[in-house]
C-alpha cells in the first residue's frame, strides 16, 4: 500500500475545530491496523477514561501536550512520547492547556472508526450512548475511578 497526501481523508469533529485524518483504514491494510492523526484544537478536551473490547490503541504525540490516563494515574505526554492501551485496558486523553495537540493513533487490529468519528461530532445527547456502544467505546464512571462503589 502506498498513499500520498492527496489520498488522506479528513473528518471534522464539530465546532471545536478538531479533526481526524484517516491515514490508513482496515480496508487498506487487510484489517491489520488502522492509523489516524488527531488534530486537537485548543478548546478540545479529549475522551474521559474508557476501554475497547476488540482493539488496542497506541498514541504517539506529534505536537503539543496531553495527559494520558493509565492504571489509575494521569500523566503528561509531550512530543515524541508514546502510550499504549492494550485491548480491554482503561485509558483516556485530556488536554489541560489552550494549545493545540496532534496525536498519531494506531489501532490493532484495524477497525473502521471513520463512521464513529463523523457521527459523534454531530450526534445529539440521546444518540451518544448508542454510538459508543456500537463502536466499542465503554466509558468508566467517575465513582469507579475514585475507588467508590457505584
CATH number at residue 87: 2.60.120.10
In a domain, 146, yes or no: no
pLDDT given for residue 131 in this prediction: 83
Q: What percent of the chain has pLDDT over 90?
A: 59
- Do residues 143 and 149 lie in contact, with contact meaning Cβ atoms separated by under 8 Å? yes
List, in order, residues 6 or more apart from 140 with CB less than 8 Å away.
Answer: 48, 49, 50, 51, 90
Grid cell 489541560 is found at 96
pLDDT given for residue 116 in this prediction: 76
- Residues 99, 125, 130: CA angle, nearest 5 degrees: 105
**Consecutive H or E run containing 125:** helix 125-134
In a domain, 3, yes or no: no
In a domain, 143, yes or no: no
Number of structural domains the chain divides into:
1
Domain hosting 81: range is 9-111+119-138
pLDDT(150) > 80: no
Tell me the whole-structure pTM to 2 decimals: 0.84
pLDDT given for residue 142 in this prediction: 56
Model pLDDT for residues 92-124, shown as the tens digit of each residue:
999 989 999 999 999 999 998 888 777 777 778
pLDDT given for residue 2 in this prediction: 56
pLDDT given for residue 147 in this prediction: 41
In a domain, 89, yes or no: yes
- Do residues 136 and 120 lie in contact, with contact meaning Cβ atoms separated by under 8 Å? no
Amino acid at each position: 500500500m502506498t498513499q500520498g497526501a492527496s489520498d488522506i481523508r479528513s473528518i471534522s469533529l464539530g465546532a471545536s475545530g478538531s479533526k481526524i485524518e484517516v491515514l490508513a483504514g482496515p480496508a487498506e491494510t487487510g484489517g491489520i491496523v488502522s492509523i489516524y492523526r488527531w488534530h486537537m484544537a485548543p478548546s478540545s478536551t479529549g475522551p474521559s477514561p474508557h476501554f475497547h473490547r476488540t482493539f488496542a490503541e497506541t498514541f504517539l504525540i506529534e505536537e503539543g501536550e496531553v495527559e494520558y490516563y493509565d492504571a489509575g494515574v494521569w500523566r503528561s505526554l509531550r512530543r515524541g512520547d508514546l502510550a499504549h492501551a492494550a485491548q480491554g485496558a482503561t485509558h483516556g486523553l485530556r488536554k489541560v492547556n489552550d494549545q493545540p495537540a496532534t496525536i498519531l493513533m494506531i489501532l490493532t487490529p484495524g477497525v473502521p472508526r471513520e463512521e464513529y468519528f463523523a457521527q459523534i461530532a454531530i450526534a445529539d445527547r440521546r444518540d451518544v450512548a448508542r454510538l459508543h456502544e456500537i463502536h466499542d467505546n465503554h466509558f468508566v464512571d467517575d465513582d469507579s475511578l475514585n475507588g467508590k462503589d457505584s
